C-alpha cells in the first residue's frame, strides 16, 4: 500500500506542478504582446465598441485587474487570486456579462459531451483493434484500411460529413445547438428529449474519430503481444487459446491506457472544433465566439479551464492506471 | 542504405501511401502550368456556383446553329421547369385560391398551365401565405410563362442611331450550337466558392500552401525534438532532468491550447502562413524529443559507441556518426507524422478563426473556414467543403500509410 501511496503522491505533486505551469503560461503568453496589455486589448476592441462609458469602465476594471502598474510577480499573484475567486473579469463581446457566468453556462455541455464520447470511442476502438489483431484474416483486411482512412478524416471533417448526411439530407437530427431554439432550459420531458436529440450528432462524430486511431494502436499492440515469448511459451504449455487472449488483451491494454492519458489533450482539441461545427453551446463554441469578438478575457479563461480539465483527466487516468498496472499492484502487495 | 530503401519500396503500404502523396504533389506542381489563373481571382459574381460547364450565352447566339429535330426536346424543356414539386406547388396555390381540387390534374401539363394562367395574379395575396412563398410563386409564374409555346425567340439589338430595337436574328426551339464552336466555355469542375472563386484552382494552391506549412512546421518540430532528445539522451544527468521536466510539462499541457494562446497573442496583422507554421512547429516537438531520447538511451551504451568514445572522438562526432544513423529511420517517421499533424493543426486553427491571415494565398484550413462561415454545409453546397476534407484526409492518409510501411520495415515485429 505504501508504494501505491508514493505513486499517488508523486502524481498529485506532478498535477500541482503542471497546473501552476499552466497558470504561468496563461499569464505570460498574452503579456508577450508588445506594449501595455490592457491598452493593446482596448485598442482591439475599440473598433467594435461604441459605448464609451462602457469602454472606460472596462479599461479601468482591467487596469485594476491586471494591476499593470505593479511589479510582474505581484501581478501574477493578483491573477492567481482572481482566478481562485472565480473572477475572470468581464467579457468584452457580451458586456456586461462576467466571464465566469459564460463559462459556467457552457462547461457542463462540454464535459457531458466530450468525456463520455471519448471514453466510449476509446473502448469501441480498443475492442475492434484487438479483434482485428486476433481474427486477422478478412476482418483485418477489410476493417483496417477502412478504419485507417476513417481515422485520417479530421474531427471537423467527420462532424461536417455527419451533419450533412443526417442533419441536412436525411433530417433525422437537428444541425445546430444544444437544444431546440424555441425552448428555455427547464426540467420538462420535452426539453430533455430535445437535448438528447441534439446530443447525437456531436457525440457520434467524436466517437467515430476516436475509434479509428485507437483501433489501429490497439491492433499493433496486440500483434506485438501475440508474438511475445510468453504467448509462444503458453502455447507450448497447452494453455487454452481463450486464456492467452485474455492475457494478451490485458497486456496490450496497459499502453493504451497511458496512450489515452497522453493523447487526451489532442482529442479534446479536436472535439472542441467538432463542437463548433455543430454550434454546440459548449466551451468550443464559446471559444469561437471569444475569438470572433476579440474577447481576450473569455479566451484566456476558456483556455485555462480546458487546460485544467485536461490535466485533471490525465491525473485520473494515471491514478486508474496505477490501480490496474500489475507492476504497481505487485509493488503494493510487497 | 540501398537495401533498406529496396525493402521500403517493397512494402505495399509504403508504396500506396507514396503513390497517393506523389500524385497530390504532382498535381500541385503541374496544375498551375496548365491552368494559369490567379488562384484567388474572383470569377463569379455571386456565390457558390455549382460545378459544371459554363457556356457563354452571348457567344452561343452568334455561333453557327445546327437544327436537330429531337422528339423529346419539348418534354425535357417542360420537365426541367415543371418538376413534380412545382406541379404540386401550383396545385396547392390553385386549391387555396378556390379551384376545386378534383378539377386539377397535375399530370396533365396543358390543362394545369391553362388553369394557372387563368387564375394566377401576382398581386393577389392569399391568406396565410408568407412573403417568401409569394415571391416563390412570382418566380414560378415567370419561368412557366410561355413554356408551351412553339415559337422561337427573337434576338434584337439596339440601333445606335435611332435607338430602336432592330431584330437581328430569331432562334428556333430546335437550334443547337456545337460547344467547341462557342468561343467562351469555362469548365468549373468544383464550381465556385462563397467569393465566386474557382474552387479547384484555389484548392490546388491551398494544398500547396498547406503542404508547405506542414513541411516548415514538421522540420521545426523535428529539429527541436531531435536536438533536445539527443542532448537529454546522450548527455544525461542534470541536462536530461531539466529537458525531461520541460518535455513532460508540454506533454500534458494540450498543444492545441498553446497554439490558440500564441496565435491570439501574435495578433491578426502578424499571422502569415509561415508564422503559423513556425508556431505549430514550436508547440509540437514533444513527441519527437521523447522518442529520440529513449532511442538514444538504448544506443548510448552499445559497443560501437563505447569504442568511439575510447578512440577519443568528440561528442559531436559520436552523435553524428554513431548515433544519428541508427535513429535516422525513426526521425524520418517522426517527421512524416509531424507534417501531417501540422496540416491538421493549421486547419483546426483556421476553423477557429486563428489561422493565417492572408489575402494572397489560400490554405486548406482557410477554405474550410470560409465554407463554414458562409454555411456551405447547411446550404448543401458540397463542392465548397467536401473536396477540402477529402484532400486533408488523403494527405494524412498517405503519410500515415508511408509511416506504417516504414515502421513495418524497421520494426519487424509489427509485420503481418
Domains and their CATH numbers in chain A: 103-292 (1.10.3720.10)
In sequence order, the β-bridge partners of residue B198 are B192
Among B245, B340, B351, which would you mutate to test the A interface (most chain A Cβ atoms within 10 Å of its Cβ)? Answer: B351
Please tell me what DSSP assigns to residue A238: T
Cross-chain Cβ contact B380/A168 below 8 Å: yes
Contacts of B279 in chain A (CB under 8 A): none
**Residue B156 near residue B23 (C-beta atoms within 8 A):** no
Contacts of A296 in chain B (CB under 8 A): 264
Q: Is B97 on the interface with A (CB under 8 A)?
A: no
pTM: 0.84
In CATH, the number for domain B2-42+197-414 is 1.10.3720.10
Estimate the crossing angle of helix A296-324 against helix B255-266, to 10 degrees: 160
Burial status of residue B201 (CB atoms within 10 A of its CB: 0-12, 13-18, 19 or more): buried
User: Least CA distance to B349: which residue of chain A?
Assistant: A273
Half-sphere exposure of B346 (CA within 13 A, CB side): 37
Domain residue ranges in chain B? 2-42+197-414, 83-144
Contacts of B382 in chain A (CB under 8 A): 164
Among A10, A154, A166, which would you mutate to test the B interface (most chain B Cβ atoms within 10 Å of its Cβ)? Answer: A154
Q: Is A10 on the interface with B (CB under 8 A)?
A: no
Phi and psi, residue B177, nearest 5°: -120, 155
Estimate the crossing angle of helix A99-135 against helix A241-277, to 10 degrees: 150
Cα distance between residue A299 and residue B209, in whole Å: 28
Which pLDDT score is estimated for B115? 80
Residues of chain A with pLDDT under 70: 1, 32-52, 55, 58, 61-69, 95, 136-141, 143-144, 326-334
In sequence order, the β-bridge partners of residue B156 are B167
Which pLDDT score is estimated for A334? 45
Go through chain A and tell me how many residues it has: 334
Rg (chain B; Cα; Å): 32
Cβ neighbors of B310 (< 8 A, separation 6 or more) are: none
Cα distance between residue A180 and residue A189, in whole Å: 13
Residues of chain B with pLDDT under 50: none
Q: Which of A26, A160, A269 sits opposite B261 (nearest CB)?
A: A26
Q: Is B265 on the interface with A (CB under 8 A)?
A: yes
Half-sphere exposure of B274 (CA within 13 A, CB side): 1
Q: What is the ipTM of this complex?
A: 0.82
Which pLDDT score is estimated for A29? 79
Q: Is B113 on the interface with A (CB under 8 A)?
A: no
Q: Please give, rounded to a whole number of angstroms, the shortest distance from the CA of B397 to a CA of chain A.
A: 6
Q: Is A279 on the interface with B (CB under 8 A)?
A: no
Q: Tell me the three-class secondary structure of chain B, residue by residue.
A: CHHHHHHHHHCHHHHHHHHHHHHHHHHHHHHHHHCCCCCCCECCCCCCCCCEEEECHHHHHHCCEEECCCCCHHHHHHHHHCCHHHHHHHHHHHHHHCCCHHHCCCCCHHHHHHHHHHHCCCCCCCCCCCHHHHHHHHHHHHHHCCCCCCCCEEEEEECCCCCCEEEEEEECCCEEECHHHCCCEEEECCCECCCCEEHHHHHHHHHHHHHHHHHHHHHHHHHHHHHHHHHHHHHCHHHHHHHHHHHHHHHHCCHHHHHHHHHHHHCHHHCCHHHHHHHHHHHCCHHHHHHHHHHHHHHHCCHHHHHHHHCCCCHHHHHHHHHHHHHHHHHHHHHHHHHHHHHHHHHHHHHCCCCCCCCCCCCHHHHHHHHHHCCHHHHCCHHHHHHHHHHHHHHHHHHHHHHHHHHHHHCHHHCC
Cβ neighbors of B212 (< 8 A, separation 6 or more) are: B273, B277
User: Least CA distance to A160: which residue of chain B?
Assistant: B377
Which pLDDT score is estimated for B200? 92
Cell of A292: 470572433
Q: Is A33 on the interface with B (CB under 8 A)?
A: yes
Cross-chain Cβ contact B389/A272 below 8 Å: no
Please tell me what DSSP assigns to residue A169: I
Q: Is B261 on the interface with A (CB under 8 A)?
A: yes
Alpha helices in A155-240 (DSSP H): 155-162, 189-226, 229-237
Amino acid at each position: 500500500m505504501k508504494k501505491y501511496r508514493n505513486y499517488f503522491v508523486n502524481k498529485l505533486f506532478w498535477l500541482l506542478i503542471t497546473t501552476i505551469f499552466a497558470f504561468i503560461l496563461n499569464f505570460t503568453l498574452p503579456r508577450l504582446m508588445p506594449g501595455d496589455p490592457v491598452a493593446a486589448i482596448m485598442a482591439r476592441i475599440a473598433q467594435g465598441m461604441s459605448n464609451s462609458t462602457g469602454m472606460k469602465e472596462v479599461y479601468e476594471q482591467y487596469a485594476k485587474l491586471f494591476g499593470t502598474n505593479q511589479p510582474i510577480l505581484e501581478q501574477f499573484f493578483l491573477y492567481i487570486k482572481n482566478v481562485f475567486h472565480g473572477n475572470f473579469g468581464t467579457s468584452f463581446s457580451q458586456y456586461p456579462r462576467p466571464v465566469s457566468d459564460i463559462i459556467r453556462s457552457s462547461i457542463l455541455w462540454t464535459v457531458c459531451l466530450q468525456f463520455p464520447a471519448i471514453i466510449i470511442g476509446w473502448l469501441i476502438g480498443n475492442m475492434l483493434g484487438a479483434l482485428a489483431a486476433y481474427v486477422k484474416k478478412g476482418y483485418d483486411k477489410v476493417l483496417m484500411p477502412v478504419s485507417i482512412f476513417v481515422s485520417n478524416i479530421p474531427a471537423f471533417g467527420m462532424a461536417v460529413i455527419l451533419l450533412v448526411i443526417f442533419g441536412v439530407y436525411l433530417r433525422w437530427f437537428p444541425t445546430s445547438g444544444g437544444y431546440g431554439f424555441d425552448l428555455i432550459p427547464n426540467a420538462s420531458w420535452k426539453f430533455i428529449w430535445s437535448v438528447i436529440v441534439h446530443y447525437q450528432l456531436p457525440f457520434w462524430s467524436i466517437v467515430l474519430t476516436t475509434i479509428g486511431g485507437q483501433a489501429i494502436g490497439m491492433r499493433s499492440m496486440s500483434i506485438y503481444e501475440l508474438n511475445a515469448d510468453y504467448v509462444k511459451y503458453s502455447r507450448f504449455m497447452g494453455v487454452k487459446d481463450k486464456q492467452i487472449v485474455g492475457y494478451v488483451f490485458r497486456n496490450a491494454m496497459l499502453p493504451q491506457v497511458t496512450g489515452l492519458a497522453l493523447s487526451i489533450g489532442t482529442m479534446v482539441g479536436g472535439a472542441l472544433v467538432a463542437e463548433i461545427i455543430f454550434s454546440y453551446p459548449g466551451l468550443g463554441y464559446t471559444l469561437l465566439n471569444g475569438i470572433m469578438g476579440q474577447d481576450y478575457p473569455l479566451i484566456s479563461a476558456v483556455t485555462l479551464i480546458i487546460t485544467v480539465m485536461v490535466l485533471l483527466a490525465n491525473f485520473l487516468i494515471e491514478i486508474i492506471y496505477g490501480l490496474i498496472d500489475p507492476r504497481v499492484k505487485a509493488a503494493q502487495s510487497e | 542504405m540501398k537495401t533498406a530503401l529496396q525493402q521500403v519500396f517493397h512494402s505495399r503500404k509504403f508504396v500506396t501511401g507514396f503513390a497517393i502523396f506523389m500524385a497530390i504533389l504532382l498535381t500541385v506542381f503541374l496544375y498551375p502550368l496548365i491552368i494559369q489563373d490567379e488562384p484567388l481571382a474572383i470569377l463569379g459574381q455571386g456565390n457558390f456556383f455549382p460545378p459544371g460547364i459554363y457556356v457563354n450565352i452571348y457567344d452561343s447566339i452568334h455561333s453557327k446553329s445546327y437544327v436537330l429535330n429531337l422528339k423529346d426536346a419539348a418534354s425535357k424543356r417542360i420537365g426541367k421547369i415543371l418538376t413534380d414539386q412545382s406541379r404540386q406547388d401550383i396545385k396547392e396555390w390553385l386549391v387555396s385560391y378556390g379551384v376545386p381540387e378534383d378539377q386539377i390534374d397535375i399530370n396533365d401539363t396543358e390543362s394545369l398551365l391553362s388553369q394557372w394562367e387563368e387564375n394566377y395574379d401576382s398581386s393577389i395575396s392569399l391568406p396565410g401565405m408568407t412573403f417568401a412563398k409569394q415571391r416563390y410563386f412570382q418566380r414560378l409564374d415567370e419561368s412557366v410563362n410561355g413554356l408551351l409555346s412553339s415559337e422561337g425567340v427573337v434576338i434584337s439589338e439596339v440601333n445606335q442611331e435611332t435607338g430602336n430595337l432592330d431584330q437581328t436574328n430569331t432562334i428556333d426551339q430546335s437550334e443547337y450550337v456545337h460547344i467547341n464552336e462557342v468561343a467562351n466555355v469555362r469548365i468549373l469542375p468544383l464550381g465556385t466558392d462563397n467569393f465566386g472563386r474557382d474552387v479547384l484552382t484555389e484548392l490546388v494552391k491551398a494544398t500547396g500552401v498547406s503542404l508547405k506549412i506542414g513541411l516548415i512546421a514538421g522540420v521545426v518540430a523535428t529539429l527541436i525534438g531531435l536536438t533536445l532528445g539527443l542532448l537529454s539522451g546522450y548527455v544525461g544527468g542534470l541536462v536530461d532532468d531539466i529537458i525531461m521536466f520541460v518535455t513532460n510539462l508540454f506533454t500534458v499541457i494540450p498543444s492545441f491550447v498553446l497554439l490558440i494562446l500564441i496565435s491570439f497573442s501574435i495578433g491578426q496583422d502578424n499571422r502569415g502562413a509561415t508564422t503559423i507554421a513556425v508556431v505549430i512547429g514550436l508547440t509540437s516537438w514533444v513527441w519527437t524529443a521523447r522518442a529520440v531520447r529513449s532511442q538514444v538511451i538504448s544506443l548510448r551504451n552499445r559497443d560501437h559507441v563505447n569504442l568511439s568514445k575510447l578512440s577519443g572522438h568528440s561528442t559531436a562526432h559520436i552523435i553524428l556518426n554513431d548515433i544519428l544513423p541508427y535513429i535516422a529511420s525513426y526521425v524520418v517517421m517522426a517527421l512524416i507524422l509531424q507534417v501531417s499533424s501540422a496540416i491538421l493543426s493549421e486547419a483546426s486553427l483556421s476553423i477557429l478563426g486563428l489561422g493565417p491571415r492572408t489575402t494572397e494565398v489560400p490554405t486548406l484550413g482557410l477554405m474550410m473556414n470560409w465554407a463554414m462561415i458562409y454555411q456551405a454545409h447547411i446550404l448543401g453546397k458540397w463542392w465548397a467543403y467536401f473536396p477540402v476534407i477529402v484532400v486533408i484526409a488523403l494527405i494524412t492518409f498517405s503519410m500515415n500509410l508511408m509511416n506504417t510501411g516504414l515502421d513495418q520495415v524497421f520494426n519487424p515485429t509489427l509485420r503481418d
